[in-house]
Amino acid sequence: MATYCLTVARLQLALGHGIRRLHVSAAFCARAKVSMSHFEPSSYIAYEKLQSNVNTVRKRLNRPLTLSEKIVYGHLDSPADQEIVRGRTYLRLRPDRVAMQDATAQMAMLQFISSGLPKVAVPSTIHCDHLIEAQVGGAQDLQKAKEVNQEVYNFLASSGAKYGVGFWKPGSGIIHQIILENYAYPGVMLIGTDSHTPNGGGLGGICIGVGGADAVDVMAGIPWELKCPKVIGVKLTGTLSGWTSPKDIILKVAGILTVKGGTGAIVEYHGPGVDSISCTGMATICNMGAEIGATTSVFPYNHRMRTYLEKTGRADIAALAEEYKELLVPDTGCEYDQLIEINLNELKPHINGPFTPDLAHPVSSIGSVAEKNGWPLDVKVGLIGSCTNSSYEDMGRAASLAKQALDKGLKCKAKFTITPGSEQIRATIERDGYSKIFNDVGGVVLANACGPCIGQWDRRDVKKGEKNTIVTSFNRNFTARNDANPATHAFVTSPEIVTALAIAGTLKFNPETDYLTAPNGEKFKLQPPTGDELPARGFDPGQDTYQHPPSDGTGLRVDVNPQSNRLQLLEPFDKWNGRDLEDLQVLIKVKGKCTTDHISAAGPWLKFRGHLDNISNNLLIGAVNVENDAVNKIRNQLTGEFGGVPDVAREYKRNGVSWVVVGDENYGEGSSREHAALEPRHLGGRAIIVKSFARIHETNLKKQGLLPLTFADPADYEKIRPDDKISITGLKTFVPGKPLQAILKHSDGSKETIELNHTFNETQIEWFQAGSALNRMKELQK
């Protein structure tokens, strides 16, 4: 029964209202070392309800439905009369669950506290995975994080207890792995305050990354808005084998669609090739769908999901999913807005990068490409793990290669780090000997956390500015993301390829064809990796790291010290004054790629995620200024002197000068962090004008009362000068579908007028007028 020790969380999956409950005995609880009080029935939507909604929509649309349509439309607040047009209408949805990681949960919970509501309306959890810095090793790093972040962890635990939110303590693991092991199931709709929430699509769920304000809506019981997604189909044929892994599928897709090709769409995988992929492998593919801008990704229910559910203590759910299997796969004859076909028999191992996750190369050619482009060939560090690739199977396949090297007397030439995805994974790979193999080959097993993937890495083997190469099994490789060094060339690939390259120490090594040399001079080839999909002896749950909220938290207090530099209660933003926005100063005209990492850096700034004023000191410090090609160096138009972006923004605010940011394509690509929207609002920003937006960031800006606007003619980007003043007109008649205008006032006295598009609907216009979505929520409570 050891497998069931983590049922504190799992048995919240007891599905009421027509879905069978999981039965728990007192004897079971004694064996699992948990209390019967943990196992309260939850309010998950029943398959019967899902089926009923789908039947209603099917009659209305009178056509076959894709899998993602079934799940999304099955969660409509009003399936009988909701307008449904892919890519155009907004849907009002009722998600089943909310999940928040600790860096984003701080602001989400602060906003929920500001709402004045007594308790969350849907099952919700907080996961402590982002604030643990990788330094020396798992146990030491975890202990230090508990000490350094005690104030934040106490805030999250106490606010969770007061408002009915489950709390996964530091050391539990990465949010998306915990969700897969405990909360995801076929047909669920879950939103999470992290862009890689789509990981849950590996278990057949529609799991979508959002900002904290969206999470507050759902926790408050308000229907959640989402533009009706288009559907991109990816048909898989053939079978994965040899060195090719699930990661190579999404690396290939990223190369096809680019970082913005999935925007506004759900990527739906299907076809006979699906059955050759493990459940956790499907999760890997869905997870990294965030890198192509997709709303989410999903796989159809199959036997690999059933086995995973059974192995993670959810056999009852697997049995029920079997009964409703037709609901959990696409209809025959359904149509996709775009179709991509990939033959897995022909797919080769890939490695993407540097600096962007869609720059795809076959591993066989990366050495020559690197030489041609002047990228460093020596691999300084190989890093496996992250929310994308930290499953038992990932660890086993990597360990099989490390064992081959050890058997020949070799250790890694590069530094090698391993991040388990959860406490359950850590305990199981330790029991089964994988951890020892990693240690023996020269690796370091880090804490069950995000670590270097999000910049939580105290890297000391190279100096900042030193050109070098790292290879990772992570998902993102933006400039300076992992180690704060803009000269680091980061490449994304599978854990197997990372391990092979860490052993060889060079990008020029192709494990399919090249030989290694043992200390005795023997030449040998690494055989293709092998690894069990799931542990034969079941999972070892490790330590119980979950805190369930009490049934009644009304008597509990959540204290925020007014003197704290890490936590700060929120003040409401000002309402729209009813007039057009006149003479907005251009704060910065951004050149090229501008991700949420550029707008609100992570790494050392994570500690301020609960303090809006302090974290605003990182506003746009990574964005390139078109005026001088420099970062964090813009001209203060009041003084004529150059200064840091947040410093100039603060001076404008002190002087009553509102401002605007001008940007390029896919502005706000990357993480879901709503701080990238909160910070410009807090420092006096009013509008962001760009060629195109990433989905989550555009929504986050709307939620905070900002105007995300796009050039009707992208060439108009060139018309704006860094010293311009811009007036945005048409706000008095602001309605969906009607463009606004911008009057550009140049310093030479000339003027130009350009047209700006927007995607606001009526509800979102009310957010703008109220000053924020949270302000509007409070207005509706009166």
Catalytic residue list contains 548: no
Average pLDDT of the residues in 303-330:
96
Bridge-based pairing of strands 642-643 and 707-711 is: unpaired
Q: Are 526 and 410 in contact (CB under 8 A)?
A: no
Residue 598: strand, helix, or coil = helix
Average pLDDT of the residues in 15-29:
33
- Residue ranges of E strands in 511-580: 516-517, 523-524, 546-547
Catalytic residue list contains 60: no
pLDDT at residue 417, as a whole number: 98
Q: Are 65 and 331 in contact (CB under 8 A)?
A: yes
pLDDT at residue 174, as a whole number: 97
Catalytic residue list contains 194: yes
Q: Over the chain, what is the mean pLDDT?
A: 93
Q: 530-544, 550-564, 635-649, 707-721 — which is least confidently predicted?
A: 550-564
* Sequence-ordered alpha helix ranges (H) in 486-551: 495-504
Could you tell me the pLDDT band of residue 4, with boundaries at 50, 70 and 90? very low
The secondary element (H helix, E strand) that includes residue 428 is helix 423-431
Could you tell me the pLDDT band of residue 3, with boundaries at 50, 70 and 90? very low
Q: How far apart are CA 480 and CA 287, in angstroms?
A: 21
Q: What is the crossing angle of helices 303-311 and 279-287, to 10°? A: 100
Catalytic residue list contains 458: no
Instruction: Give the phi and the psi of residue 772 in degrees, each rounded to 5.
Output: 180, 165
Which residue from 221, 194, 196, 209 is spatially nearest to 94, judged by alpha carbons? 221
What is the largest distance, in Å, between two alpha-carbon atoms of the chain? 82
Bridge-based pairing of strands 166-168 and 630-631 is: unpaired
Q: How far apart are CA 43 and CA 40, in angstroms?
A: 10
Could you tell me the pLDDT band of residue 176, with boundaries at 50, 70 and 90? very high
pLDDT at residue 18, as a whole number: 30
Which residue from 240, 324, 410, 254 is spatially nearest to 52, judged by alpha carbons? 324
pTM higher than 0.85, yes or no?
yes
Which residue in the list 194, 214, 316, 483 is annotated as catalytic? 194
pLDDT at residue 136, as a whole number: 92
pLDDT at residue 291, as a whole number: 96
Within 10 A of 722 (CB to CB), how many other CB atoms are there?
18
Tokens representing 126 are 């907080």
pLDDT at 137 over 50: yes
- Gyration radius from the chain CA atoms: 25
Which residue in the list 38, 97, 127, 130 is annotated as catalytic? 130
How large a percentage of the chain has pLDDT more than 70?
A: 94
Which residue in the list 476, 598, 609, 776 is annotated as catalytic? 476
Bridge-based pairing of strands 189-192 and 166-168 is: unpaired
pLDDT at residue 7, as a whole number: 39
Catalytic residue list contains 38: no
pLDDT at 25 over 80: no
pLDDT at residue 2, as a whole number: 35
Q: How far apart are CA 402 and CA 410, in angstroms?
A: 9
Q: Are 387 and 199 in contact (CB under 8 A)?
A: yes
Within 10 A of 303 (CB to CB), how many other CB atoms are there?
11
Tokens representing 452 are 């270097």
Which residue in the list 102, 129, 358, 716 is annotated as catalytic? 129
- The model's pLDDT over 435-477, given as tens digits with 9 standing for 90+, comes to 999 999 999 999 999 999 999 999 999 999 999 999 999 999 9
What residues contact residue 12 under an 8 Å CB cut-off, 6+ apart?
39, 40, 42, 123, 166, 182, 183
Which residue from 207, 211, 168, 214 is spatially nearest to 191, judged by alpha carbons? 207
pLDDT at 299 over 60: yes
Average pLDDT of the residues in 718-742:
97
- The model's pLDDT over 51-69, given as tens digits with 9 standing for 90+, comes to 999 999 999 999 999 999 9
Q: Are 545 and 426 in contact (CB under 8 A)?
A: no
Which residue from 222, 175, 557 is spatially nearest to 386, judged by alpha carbons? 175
Average pLDDT of the residues in 494-517:
98
Instruction: Give the residue, 102 or 12, on which the prediction is more confident.
Output: 102
Q: DSSP letter at 337?
A: S
Q: How far apart are CA 776 and CA 699, in angstroms?
A: 15
Catalytic residue list contains 10: no
Could you tell me the pLDDT band of residue 46, with boundaries at 50, 70 and 90? confident
Residue 369: strand, helix, or coil = helix
Tokens representing 679 are 């910070």
pLDDT at 19 over 90: no
pLDDT at 422 over 50: yes
Query: What residue has token string 């499953």?
Result: 391
- The model's pLDDT over 261-280, given as tens digits with 9 standing for 90+, comes to 999 999 999 999 999 999 99
Q: DSSP letter at 82?
A: -
Average pLDDT of the residues in 290-309:
97
pLDDT at residue 210, as a whole number: 94
- As beta bridge partners, residue 263 has 294
Please give the angle made by the CA atoms of 633, 634 and 637, to the nearest 5 degrees: 150
Which residue in the list 114, 297, 671, 692 is annotated as catalytic? 671
Average pLDDT of the residues in 83-98:
96
pLDDT at residue 604, as a whole number: 86
Q: How far apart are CA 142 and CA 138, in angstroms?
A: 6
Average pLDDT of the residues in 82-97:
96
Q: How far apart are CA 687 and CA 729, in angstroms?
A: 12
